[in-house]
């Protein structure tokens, strides 16, 4: 999740004073990372929280952390938060409603349409239920990893339907406000398609890549770089939980997988043509494979560049100008004064000062237009300044890890 704070939906002042009128008691069903973090966040705000888990030691751990009490409520609470895996949600919701556990109910499942459908099929009262999905998490799971600040400034999707009662929505919005999160209203199916694209399918793709490493040898292990580590990091997640999520969002995930399979088939065919080409056809096969790869890699980079960057700006509109400077803090100040006098706005600065060398590089991120003129302007002032590398160098001189 990008660090950027959002300001969408109902504005929240993040106050930490007395609990709001409506929400004074909450039952958290499922004392995992999310359930316990919710409990910690609202307990601090004065809400009375009851904790329940199929594993008593999880609920006891959450209680020991100060998230609430494992004593069960004697009267219906204001809101029950069902924080279990998607496949169990409808069953837990139906049981809680049958027991009259709360005035209103919400969940935290990362799949919404299947969970809503299953709840409706299970005969749940859909007026007192509002689907929710807080966009926050950690690599570590379980109550031990819970943090009261986990949701601060994060989007918390809610998926109201025509059946949702006003009081249910008000109580859930109070919960979100107490957690410091930002409510975002979406339709359940739009939420699920988006999650298939940005979370569920990437997880499966990461696992498909990692599955190839099952029999990795010692020598091959030495060749592993940070790139692979990043691609497969999330494949370390719990297979059972993720299988549940993926099946619960089967249609949307299959749609994205189908698109990936088309690209994959195209590029595999092009590479096989190169590998099996007779010498006289090699140049043509090579050229065709290059065109196919450039298309996919180019679209990949375009997608990559859509993601929130450091300043949330589209990166492609900037370029870097590099200046070699001595080991002298006054030089940076003089350089920036000269850049400013040249009328150029600096978006970002990277200092790259290699240990043990007397010189380093200052890389200035400026507009593409400025990157064309700034090097010459700085050279005229005596700086060793260089613009972005030419396409010729990029083709000939680069070398990746």
Beta bridge pairs of residue 134:
156
Beta bridge pairs of residue 364:
321, 349
Structure tokens at 346: 């600096």
Interatomic CA distance for residues 230 and 211, integer angstroms: 15
Among 94, 95, 122, 190, binds its own copies (CB under 8 A): 190
Phi, then psi, of 110 in degrees rounded to 5: -85, 5
Binding positions for its own copies, 222-281, rule CB under 8 A: 222-247, 250-251, 253-254, 256-261, 263-265, 267-268, 271-272, 274-276
Binding positions for its own copies, 117-136, rule CB under 8 A: 135-136
Q: Which is nearer to its own copies, 274 or 336 (CB)?
A: 274
Q: Measured from the CB of residue 343, what is the shortest distance to its own copies in angstroms?
A: 23
- 17 near its own copies (CB under 8 A): no
Q: Which is nearer to its own copies, 167 or 296 (CB)?
A: 296
Each residue 69-108 as x (binds its own copies by CB under 8 A) or -, in order, gives --------------xxx--x---x---------------x
Binding positions for its own copies, 198-227, rule CB under 8 A: 198-199, 201-214, 216-217, 219-227
Burial 67-92 (b: 16+ CB within 10 A, else e): bbebeebeebbbbbbbbbbbbbbbeb
- 304 near its own copies (CB under 8 A): yes
Using only C-alpha atoms, what is the Rg of the chain? 27
Interatomic CA distance for residues 175 and 168, integer angstroms: 11
Q: Which is nearer to its own copies, 359 or 369 (CB)?
A: 359
Site size toward its own copies, by CB under 8 A: 166
Among 27, 42, 49, 65, binds its own copies (CB under 8 A): 65
Binding positions for its own copies, 133-172, rule CB under 8 A: 135-138, 140-142, 144-149, 155, 157
- 333 near its own copies (CB under 8 A): no
Phi, then psi, of 271 in degrees rounded to 5: -70, -40
For residue 13, give every residue at least 6 positions away whose Cβ sits within 8 Å of its Cβ, in sequence order, or none.
Answer: none
Among 322, 344, 365, 371, binds its own copies (CB under 8 A): 322
- 294 near its own copies (CB under 8 A): yes
Q: Residue 352, SS3?
A: strand
- How far is the CA of 249 from the CAs of 114, 186, 199, 336, in angstroms? 7, 16, 11, 52
Q: Measured from the CB of residue 24, what is the shortest distance to its own copies in angstroms?
A: 21
């Amino acid at each position: 999740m990008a660090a950027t704070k959002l300001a969408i939906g109902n504005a929240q002042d993040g106050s930490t004073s007395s609990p709001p009128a409506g929400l004074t008691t909450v039952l958290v069903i499922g004392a995992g990372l999310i359930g316990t973090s919710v409990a910690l966040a609202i307990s601090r705000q004065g809400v009375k929280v009851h904790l329940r888990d199929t594993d008593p030691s999880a609920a006891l751990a959450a209680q020991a952390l100060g998230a609430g009490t494992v004593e069960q409520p004697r009267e219906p609470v204001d809101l029950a938060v069902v924080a279990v895996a998607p496949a169990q949600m409808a069953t837990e919701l139906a049981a809680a409603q049958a027991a009259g556990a709360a005035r209103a109910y919400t969940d935290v499942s990362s799949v919404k349409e299947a969970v809503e459908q299953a709840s409706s099929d299970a005969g749940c009262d859909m007026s007192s239920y509002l689907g929710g999905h807080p966009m926050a998490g950690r690599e570590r799971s379980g109550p031990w990893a819970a943090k009261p600040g986990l949701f601060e400034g994060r989007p918390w999707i809610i998926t109201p339907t025509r059946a949702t009662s006003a009081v249910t929505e008000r109580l859930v919005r109070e919960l979100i406000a107490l957690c410091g999160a930002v409510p975002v209203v979406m339709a359940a199916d739009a939420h699920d398609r988006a999650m298939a694209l940005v979370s569920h399918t990437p997880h499966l793709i990461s696992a498909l890549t990692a599955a190839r490493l099952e029999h990795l040898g010692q020598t091959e292990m030495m060749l592993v770089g940070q790139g692979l580590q990043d691609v497969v990091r999330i494949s370390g997640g719990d297979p059972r939980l993720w299988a549940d999520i993926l099946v619960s969002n089967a249609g949307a995930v299959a749609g994205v997988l189908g698109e990936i399979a088309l690209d994959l088939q195209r590029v595999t065919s092009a590479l096989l043509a190169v590998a099996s080409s007779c010498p006289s056809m090699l140049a043509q096969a090579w050229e065709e494979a290059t065109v196919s790869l450039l298309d996919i890699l180019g679209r990949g980079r375009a997608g990559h560049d859509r993601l929130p960057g450091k300043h949330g700006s589209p990166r492609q509109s900037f370029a870097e100008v590099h200046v070699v400077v001595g080991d002298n803090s006054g030089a940076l100040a003089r350089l920036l004064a000269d850049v400013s006098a040249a009328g150029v706005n600096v978006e970002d600065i990277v200092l790259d000062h290699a240990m043990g060398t007397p010189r380093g590089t200052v890389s200035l991120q400026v507009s593409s237009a400025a990157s064309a003129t700034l090097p010459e302007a700085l050279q005229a002032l005596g700086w060793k300044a260089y613009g972005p590398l030419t396409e010729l160098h990029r083709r000939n001189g680069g070398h990746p890890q």
